[in-house]
Structure 1
Amino acid sequence: MSTPIPFGPHLTDDQLARRPDSHVGAHLEHCADCQARAAGWQNVAVAAERFSVDTVGAFRTPSFDDLLGDAVGMPWAAPTPVPKPSLSSSLLLAASLALAQRKLLPRLLLPLTVFGFIGGILLAVSTTRSGSPPTIFGLVVTLVFQLGTLAACTPRTDPRLELFATMPIRPSVVFASRLLMVLAADTVLALVTSMVASELGGTADFTDMVAGWLGPALLASAVGVVCAVWRSIAVGAVAGGVVWLLGAAGASSAGPAHRIGAIIQPLWSTSALTVAIAALLLVVAIVGMTKPRFSAAAA
């Protein structure tokens, strides 16, 4: 192929290689030399195209879906098999979640709980002569249980808040683990305290001491938790306090207070019905944690 002709009456190679415009077309109509050179360029283009097709193939722009491939989250992506966690890994995750919830509880909860149980022992010992240590001790333990369960519903650590709702674990699971941890810790401490109180009190054995607080504590705590999840922790405290007052009034020997407390007296005991109602109320509270809360309740 000839070298470019920058000057003179003929077209340059760059003008011949490009798409001809009106000036180039007019010149080619009257210049045989440029027509021959243009035909040479056309032959080169045809040969290059044929060589490209023979060696590479026809060029096709891939689709956008093919470029993304099996990207995670795409509708056409193949489902990624997720292995089921083993029992050990599940238990480790549950323990880690419970330990994380412990850090979110108020710091004063533990010392207040210990002082409450110690106060229950002192009251049980001081009321030995009256013959009502299980009743007094049960009322104190019920208050301690309510304190712990309401502390699990504080607005600042509500799992339904926008920040906590973005975690991979559901808010209902987080709340259930927190509530279970509080109830388990209070139950263990209450059992130990009941053993100590029964040994020091002398008028009631260990079984009677436990029966005096297990059912009422679960019932009053469950009522408070449901109302706290439904409205606020203040409403839960009021509702739980009303149930506790009714139970205390029903535990009295006679008088107007006893007649008022007789409303809740059938449930103010450790029975299968009381435990079942308390468990049902706690499940309702946990289910109520499924809806996110976007208000500034924790501000």
Structure 2
Amino acid sequence: PVAAELEALLASDQALEALPAKFGFVLDGGGGRLPLTDLAADVRLAACYRDGRARVALGMAAMDGVAWLGTTDAADAPAKAVQLARLVLQYSPTRRSATLPSTMQTALSAALGLTDSNAIATRVIAPSERCGLIALTDQTCAVGLGAPFGRLDSETLMRLAAVLAAHDVCEIRLSPWRRLYVAARRETAAQCVSDAARLGLIVDDSDPLMRIDACSGVGGCPSTGLATRQHARMLAAAMARTGFKGSLHVSGCAKGCARSAPAELVLAGDGDHYRIIRHGTVKSASCGMFDPARDGTAAGLFRASENVDV
């Protein structure tokens, strides 16, 4: 109900059309097996208890994490979240909450009429597993199915639907983590995992593909002639062989559409080669060039301790 009312308020307030396209709201029910504590958002709402009553904590993104401003009744939470968004528009130089001065937090809390501003514990629970079997009860499991590069084509979806129907699965949920989740009985969950793996879905959190961002590449974008996702799969195998545990961003051009955050290793398309960038983004200085046609050299990308041409 909080989410539905928030959506209605956002849709009906023309002033909020000035919010940046990536301005986000996160609503976390609290206590779940897969909390949203690590998901970035400008405005954050989290269920909590205060004096035996269900409340909603309201916070915002800050330079050093989440700044919790206080709590409110669930019925008032959508309107308070919208009011906070208006205040961000009014006072933030970038119209994003993270760039609001920290000195304003007390004033914002007062303006919103929030309470308990000094008594909110920041929860930083990071789930240890998101793919494969996740036990829920003695009888049920969730099954996390990762989509390589966040993409599932129609053929794979049809085949997956047939597999899940064969196991009497009728509940499927989307997630912010490039994964689908299905609810299954314990006696059929393991078979769901193995069947999904045969379809090319990711069922193991340690799979290197979960640490790779890759744009659509040739055939999906006119800005590059590089087969980025084919190259990313080749590089995933090299990551597994060398034990590389970091993140990889494979971009067909200098725009870097698939990932804006820094990665341990970045390959930025330049003609039929990639520029090599370590611990940066596509905008950072390169330290060498990588020729994807020489796939035998891929392991060198992950073993190199110095910035060298590959």
Q: TM-score normalized by structure 2?
A: 0.21
Larger Rg, first or second structure (1 or 2) = 1
- The structure carrying a bigger helix percent of its residues is 1
Select the structure that is richer in strand: 2
